[in-house]
């Protein structure tokens, strides 16, 4: 028997890839791994939004064939930044979809928000392997997305650390032996604050996550725990379990990323230091493994792992997400759209931190959320929910202004 003195990566064929949302946190971490393993990956296309300087630098660094900015007004700037590089340049929403349609083996779906729906569906419809980091694809359009994945023979690999953890320990061949899955939550930066203290939370405080380096919107979702509600909905679509089989537990150290409990009482968990490059690498190299620079977990150094039940009084987003999932239809699309609008206005200073879930709840109460079976229907409901949420925010602003002036 051959003795292995040091770990070695399995040999795998070179994989062609596209990164949708290259300039965001997930996209940057993906390209960091690609740059460390140039022999394993050939980059076909990168897409970004307005940060054309970063997009151009990334395209040059990894030798991408195509760079796309979703913002048509930035086409000239991107063209200039890539002058002489040989990298093809395009701009606009249709160009992002066209990038997703290019014939690559693997696509990172990391565009934040509903803007990621059409490109991700385009990748699914050509049968690609998709690393999914866009929550909206499953929260707003889960039934449609999973049906297209199945119909077109695509492969969906979750990139969220929690879903990646479940993916790694879930026995898909014997799903009937799974009793429940448990999503862990850090609890965010305000876990130990009371409601009175949370009322005065500022955007700067909300985006400062204690464990993870994430974008502003996702960090606010973590602070309200809406991210865990959205992940509950995603888990329902990703794994063959019922909604009542999914539970959430607060685990402040973010070492255990999620757990699967089996009918014999066995509980399998995936652990690791909080570094998004680990779950990204799981998806990027699947079905193989690849070396990452993530810090290695030393339990003796941590000393203690703690757990607690989430407080749904302080964090009503968890209740709202579970209720939306139970309601069915397009309720989860309304939930997601309203949350995006509320977080946007919070970051702009227009509403307070505790008003975020309040706006979501009121939108769910007044907005149409019937069945939606096509992407156009889902996007129409998404748009109407955004209009309703914006109206709620504006009404609250006018009311506050009226009170301030007596």
Q: Are 107 and 116 in contact (CB under 8 A)?
A: no
pLDDT of 8 higher than 60: no
CA distance 389 to 124: 30
CA distance 159 to 156: 10
What are the pLDDT digits (tens) for 342-401? Answer: 999 999 999 999 999 999 999 999 997 778 889 999 999 999 999 999 999 998 877 776
Reading the block at residue 341, the tokens are 């609008």
pLDDT of 7 higher than 60: no
- Please work out, in degrees rounded to the nearest 5, the angle formed at the alpha carbon of residue 137 by the alpha carbons of 40 and 64: 30
Question: What crossing angle do the helices spanning 226-238 and 161-169 adopt, rounded to 10°?
Answer: 30
* C-alpha closest to that of 383 among 345, 336, 347: 336
Percentage of the chain exceeding pLDDT 70: 94
pLDDT at residue 153 in the model: 97
pLDDT at residue 401 in the model: 66
Domains and CATH numbers, the chain: 15-158 (3.40.50.720), 328-400 (1.10.1740.10)
* pLDDT band (50, 70, 90) for residue 270: very high
CA distance 298 to 130: 31
* pLDDT band (50, 70, 90) for residue 4: very low
SS3 270: strand
**Beta strand 88-91 with 256-262: parallel, antiparallel or unpaired?**
unpaired
Tell me 181's DSSP state: E
H helices within 63-135, ranges in order?
A: 75-81, 93-101, 117-125
Residue 395: Cβ within 10 Å count: 11
* pLDDT band (50, 70, 90) for residue 178: very high
CA distance 22 to 46: 6
* pLDDT band (50, 70, 90) for residue 30: very high
Phi, psi of 226 (to 5 degrees): -65, -30
pLDDT at residue 388 in the model: 96
* pLDDT band (50, 70, 90) for residue 105: very high
Instruction: Say how far residue 41 (Cα) sits from the centre of its chain.
Output: 23
Radius of gyration of the chain (CA): 21
* pLDDT band (50, 70, 90) for residue 112: confident
What are the pLDDT digits (tens) for 271-308? Answer: 999 999 999 999 999 999 999 999 999 999 999 999 99
Q: For the chain, give the mean pLDDT.
A: 92
pLDDT at residue 245 in the model: 98
H helices within 70-192, ranges in order?
A: 75-81, 93-101, 117-125, 136-139, 142-152, 161-169
Q: Are 60 and 43 in contact (CB under 8 A)?
A: no
pLDDT of 48 higher than 50: yes
In whole angstroms, how far apart are CA 235 and each of 39, 93, 145, 161, 329?
33, 28, 13, 12, 17
């Amino acid at each position: 028997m051959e003795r292995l003195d040091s770990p070695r990566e399995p040999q795998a064929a070179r994989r062609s890839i596209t990164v949708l949302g290259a300039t965001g946190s997930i996209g940057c971490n993906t390209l960091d791994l690609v740059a460390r393993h140039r022999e394993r990956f050939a980059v076909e296309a990168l897409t970004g939004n307005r940060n054309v300087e970063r997009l151009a630098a990334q395209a040059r660094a990894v030798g991408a064939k195509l760079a796309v900015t979703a913002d048509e007004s930035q086409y000239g700037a991107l063209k200039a930044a890539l002058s002489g590089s040989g990298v093809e340049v395009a701009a606009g929403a249709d160009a992002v979809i066209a990038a997703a349609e290019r014939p690559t083996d693997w696509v990172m779906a990391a565009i934040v928000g509903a803007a990621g729906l059409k490109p991700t569906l385009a990748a699914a419809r050509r049968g690609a392997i998709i690393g999914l980091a866009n929550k909206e694809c499953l929260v707003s359009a889960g039934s449609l997305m999973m049906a297209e994945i199945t119909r077109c023979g695509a492969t969906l690999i979750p990139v969220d650390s929690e879903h990646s953890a479940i993916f790694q320990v879930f026995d898909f061949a014997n799903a009937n032996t799974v009793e429940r899955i448990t999503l862990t939550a850090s609890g965010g930066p305000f876990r130990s604050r009371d409601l009175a203290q949370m009322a005065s939370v500022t955007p700067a405080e909300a985006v400062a996550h204690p464990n993870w380096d994430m974008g502003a919107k996702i960090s606010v979702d973590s602070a309200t725990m809406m991210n865990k509600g959205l992940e509950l909905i995603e888990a329902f679509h990703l794994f063959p379990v019922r909604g009542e089989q999914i539970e959430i537990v607060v685990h402040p150290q973010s070492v255990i990323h999620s757990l699967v409990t089996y009918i014999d009482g066995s509980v399998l968990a995936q652990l690791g230091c909080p570094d998004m490059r680990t779950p990204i690498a799981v998806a990027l190299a699947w079905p193989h493994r690849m070396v990452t620079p993530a810090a290695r977990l030393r339990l003796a150094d941590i000393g203690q792992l703690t757990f607690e039940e989430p407080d749904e009084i302080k964090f009503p987003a968890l209740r709202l997400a579970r209720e939306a999932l139970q309601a069915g239809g397009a309720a989860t699309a309304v939930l997601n759209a309203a949350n995006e609008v509320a977080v946007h206005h919070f970051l702009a200073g227009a509403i307070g931190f505790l008003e975020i879930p309040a706006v979501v709840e009121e939108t769910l109460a007044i907005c149409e959320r019937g069945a939606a079976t096509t992407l156009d229907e889902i996007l129409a409901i998404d748009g109407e929910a955004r209009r309703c949420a914006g109206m709620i925010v504006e009404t609250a602003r006018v009311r506050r202004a009226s009170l301030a002036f007596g």
